[in-house]
Structure 1
Amino acid sequence: MKETLQFTPVRMAEQFMESYRNHELYPTWHYENGCLLKALEELYIHTGEQKYFDYIRELMDNFIQEDGSIRLYAVEEYNLDQINQGKSLFLLLDKTGEEKYRKAADLLMVQLKGQPRTSEGGFWHKKIYPFQMWLDGLYMATPFLTQYGAFTGEEKWFDKAALQLLLVEKRTRDSRSGLLYHAWDESKEQRWSSGETGCSPHVWSRAMGWYVMAVVDTLDHLPVDHEQRGQIVGIFERVANALVHVQDQQSGLWPHLLDQPGRERNYLEASGTSMFVYALAKGVRKGYLSGKFKAIAEKGYQGLLLHLLQTDREGVLSLTQCNGGAGLGGTPYRDGSYEYYVTESIRINDPKSVAPFILAGVEMELYKPN
């Protein structure tokens, strides 16, 4: 059954809202919760449906205490992933005025103020990953920084956010393809890092998805007259052009590893494709990207609907070919090899894919083809 642009994001969101209450991550402070809440926030903004706001508040109030402390969160972990769920605090503060949400945002900023950094000021992805910048972390932290800057009027946070986006692009960009490697180790000590560049070996689709979503969401709050805004917009266009060259022409989808198209077991993947559709469509709608990317986003979204979205007899939607996760280092050690990436789990309706799929659907509804 082919889904339509008009109803797919709403149907998927409402189905997932109900089932997610039983998900293992629902009772934890976790970046995947933040992904879902971002999708619901966009639905709330563009539909005005109170149920989306109520769900966001319900989930967040499981953690935010009256004094602004956050249950199950520890500043001292210095883990950028733990910032992502905090993005919803600004919507809650705006709509309710409750002081606990401001205090919780201040608490997350305590972490970012003390986040360990590379010699150039780039945030370590986590304290346990010294001197490493991962593309994932840009989505987790930079939009929050600019939201906080806009809320407080403290312009220094705009500068910090811009620095992160520019620095990681400079350090991870492959000069031939224009694609960005998953991570960079300044120390070059990790087995996965190149002795020459410090970069990891492959271009993981979702990592680049995190980056382009970070860019497009950060630009929402970065002042128009910020001196590095034009550079960030220019980099966005350059990265978008690189993505066009690795889009599967037959299906419109993007492969799990962007630098290995057509290689055996390198499947066409849902989360990266959804993230690219969202970022490209939103980038065109808001004037950050050239209009030519509208057709690229449309092709990608139709690919998701035709090839990866399934509907059973009861009308239940299943988004297939969702990569379960990928990282570098740690225990057991993840070496960043091709074999490592293609043997990670493949799931159905994984939150890291469903959330950007909803975002992509909202954007395609906002910017329908002429």
Structure 2
Amino acid sequence: MNLKTLLIPTVILITLGFVSCGSIAKGSAINQSKKEVISIIHKVNNHWQETHPNFGNAFWHVSAYHTGNMEAYKVTQNKDYLDYSLVWANKNEWMGAKSQNKSEWKYNYGETDKHVLFGDWQICFQTYIDLYNFTGANDKRKIARAREVMEYEMSTDKTDYWWWADGLYMVMPVMTKLYNVTGNAQYLEKLDVYLSYADSIMYDEDAKLYYRDAKYVYPKHKSANGKKDFWARGDGWVFAGYAKIIQDLPDSNQKQKYIGRFKDMAKALARAQQQEGYWTRSILDAEHAPGPETSGTAFFTYGFLWGINNGVLDKETYLPVVKKSWKYLIEVALQENGAVGYVQPIGEKAIPGQVVDINSTADFGVGAFLLAASEMYRFLD
């Protein structure tokens, strides 16, 4: 991307080579300027967009990148980022799965156009709604499919749409964003109903964490060392999802309930952080699949920073957590060319022996990194 398109003057110095990734890494990770963090955002996002010119479909992993790209656009106002998501949305016709026959719509796992009600095909709506808001709320086409799908879903008597942890990130923010666009309180009512079902099958009241889905509930399933097996990226999806909906909710008992859950998760996650700053793939069993992992760590960093920035989490308690995780993200995960490494490949659990290394990258991992970096910029602001 050409940085001449930047709209905020404060980052022009970056194009003169003001700072490099290497020089950032040598300093205290939290004592950075906003320009340095903006430089990191551009390094990562420009690399991704320049090496992925074909955009891709609207399935979850591509769409998860775009949720990070939207945050990068918010803090940089780089029109290239906005345009990248606009082209992607147009390519996908502002839709997820494209079936028009409601009688065949499904919400079990599936990558076909019939799986309209499956949350992995609904996360794209988050970015479509953002683009609708950013580019003038007069083109209703941008959110027409999102409203059609979600309002049909809410019209059914089903409550078990969110049966896997990832789905909470994929769809919860769609509900709050559409509430803010439409004023339709049913979005918040159904959000609570669907989340209550998810809690009933995946949430562990003692650990204050989410299993990836019902298959992994202890003691039916155990980690390699007989412990509860909470998958880092799965809980990363949930923790980040809570941050996203809390910021969009009106003041209410519902919002306070979610803040309580978010705080409980924060406390549990902070205890499980490794000294090196990352979280292992099995959060409570570091030896199950040892070593660094970026996607979960980036989602957690975003959530902690958002909580601190908005007075939801205590700064004195959680800033040390962020210092360590941010240091990991920019010194270990971030590579000199702007690639983001140590991202566990697509999956649903921590896998003993699976190789996750400097060359392991993915669109959703880049999206998570951009979320964290954008929130770090706001922290420094």
Question: TM-score, normalised on structure 1?
Answer: 0.80
Matched position secondary structure for 2:248: coil
Q: Compared with structure 1, are the counterparts of its residues 294 and 108 closer, same or farther at alpha carbon in structure 2 (3 Å cutoff)? A: farther
Q: How many equivalent residue pairs? A: 328
Matched position secondary structure for 1:220: helix
Matched position secondary structure for 2:122: helix
1:323 matches 2:352: no
* Contact 1:86–1:108 under 8 Å retained in 2: no
What are the residue-to-residue correspondences of 1:112-151 with 2, within 5 Å?
112-113=153-154, 117=158, 121-124=159-162, 133-151=163-181
Give the CA deviation at 1:109. Answer: 1.4
Give the CA deviation at 1:264. Answer: 5.7
What amino acid is aligned across from residue 210 of structure 1 in structure 2?
W
Structure 2 counterpart of 1:356, from 354, 368, 371: 368
* Contact 2:279–2:292 under 8 Å retained in 1: yes
Map of 2:249 onto structure 1: 222
What are the residue-to-residue correspondences of 1:27-38 with 2, within 5 Å?
27-38=56-67
* Contact 2:211–2:230 under 8 Å retained in 1: yes
Query: Deviations along 1:176-234, whole A, 9 cap, x unmatched?
Result: 433321112xxxxx6x5568799x9620000000001110101122111x221111101
1:53 matches 2:82: yes
Map of 1:293 onto structure 2: 318
Q: Which of the two has greater helix per residue?
A: 2
What amino acid is aligned across from residue 287 of structure 1 in structure 2?
G
* Contact 1:116–1:123 under 8 Å retained in 2: no
- More contact order relative to length (CA 8 Å, sep ≥ 6): 2
Give the CA deviation at 1:175. Answer: 4.1
What are the residue-to-residue correspondences of 1:221-300 with 2, within 5 Å?
221-224=248-251, 226-249=252-275, 251-261=276-286, 263=287, 265-291=289-315, 292-300=317-325
What amino acid is aligned across from residue 149 of structure 2 in structure 1?
L
Q: Compared with structure 1, are the counterparts of its residues 163 and 110 closer, same or farther at alpha carbon in structure 2 (3 Å cutoff)? A: closer
* Contact 2:154–2:190 under 8 Å retained in 1: no
Q: Compared with structure 1, are the counterparts of its residues 197 and 72 closer, same or farther at alpha carbon in structure 2 (3 Å cutoff)? A: closer
Q: Determine the C-alpha separation between the residues in 2 that align with 1:149 and 1:175.
A: 29
Q: Compared with structure 1, are the counterparts of its residues 305 and 80 closer, same or farther at alpha carbon in structure 2 (3 Å cutoff)? A: same
For structure 1, the residue ranges without an aligned partner over 5 or more in a row are: 125-132, 185-189, 328-335
* Contact 1:277–1:298 under 8 Å retained in 2: no
Matched position secondary structure for 2:284: coil
Q: Determine the C-alpha separation between the residues in 2 that align with 1:365 and 1:136.
A: 26
Tell me how large the CA RMSD over aligned residues is.
2.8
Query: Deviations along 1:238-291, whole A, 9 cap, x unmatched?
Result: 100000111002x11111110212x16422200000000001101111122222
Q: Compared with structure 1, are the counterparts of its residues 71 and 34 closer, same or farther at alpha carbon in structure 2 (3 Å cutoff)? A: closer
Sequence identity (%): 19
Q: Compared with structure 1, are the counterparts of its residues 30 and 344 closer, same or farther at alpha carbon in structure 2 (3 Å cutoff)? A: farther
What amino acid is aligned across from residue 366 of structure 2 in structure 1?
V
What are the residue-to-residue correspondences of 1:83-102 with 2, within 5 Å?
83-94=122-133, 95-96=135-136, 97-102=138-143
Q: Determine the C-alpha separation between the residues in 2 that align with 1:71 and 1:158.
A: 22
Give the CA deviation at 1:237. Answer: 0.6
Matched position secondary structure for 2:130: helix
What amino acid is aligned across from residue 172 of structure 2 in structure 1?
T
What amino acid is aligned across from residue 354 of structure 2 in structure 1?
T
Q: Determine the C-alpha separation between the residues in 2 that align with 1:49 and 1:29.
A: 22
Matched position secondary structure for 2:123: helix
* Contact 1:326–1:344 under 8 Å retained in 2: no
* Contact 2:232–2:279 under 8 Å retained in 1: yes
Structure 1: which 4+ aligned runs deviate by more than 6 Å?
A: 195-198
Q: Determine the C-alpha separation between the residues in 2 that align with 1:360 and 1:194.
A: 30
What amino acid is aligned across from residue 178 of structure 1 in structure 2?
K
Q: Determine the C-alpha separation between the residues in 2 that align with 1:73 and 1:282.
A: 34
What amino acid is aligned across from residue 221 of structure 1 in structure 2?
D
Give the CA deviation at 1:71. Answer: 7.2
Question: TM-score, normalised on structure 2?
Answer: 0.78
